[in-house]
Structure 1
Amino acid sequence: MSAEDLIEKKPRTVALVTLGCARNEVDSEELAGRLSADGWTLVDDPALAEVALINTCGFIESAKKDSVDALLEAHSLKGNGTTKAVVAVGCMAERYGNELS
């Protein structure tokens, strides 16, 4: 047994925030399954996650605003504790990726 095996590894954590249409709900369920299978621990609160994954909407007007708000809120968590990265996925990220970065 190596020394590395003896060190308890802290699980990687991710919070998945889903906004918009029913398609995003399905996509988020699939993402959650893949992340979990890859060893990630899903948490509800982005402030408790190493990665905040925001599944954005770029078509429903209220969800567009919610997407921007969620991204800004998640970004504000970076450097203040656990959150190390914010990842935007979904149609808003695809349509407005340059503007969001």
Structure 2
Amino acid sequence: MTIGVRYRLGVASRAVAAIFGGYGVAALSAAVLALCLPAAFGMARSEAAMTGTLASFAIFAFAVMWVFAARTALRAWSGLVIVAAPLALLLLLLMRATGGAA
């Protein structure tokens, strides 16, 4: 495999990680915040959902920057997984504890 092809595959992998991985991390964080904020700060559920959604835009932007700042595409994917896995676990626990979106 030539260096040019390898470079292009790395950039393509980072783009996929930035788009889909960044979206996944942002969506998970929005859901976790929407479930955590009412209990932690006594916030109304609608305000917590709006706050989580607004925060997810910044989180998505940060995830995209992280993906393209990482040294390798593998490190970029690993960073997203390291953030997404605890968020997914926390979301599952919160949904069980609070009864989900009901």
TM-score range, shorter chain: 0.3 to 0.5
| Structure number having the greater strand percentage | 1
TM-score (norm 1): 0.33
| Structure number having the greater helix percentage | 2
TM-score (norm 2): 0.33
Higher relative contact order (CA 8 A, sep 6+): 2
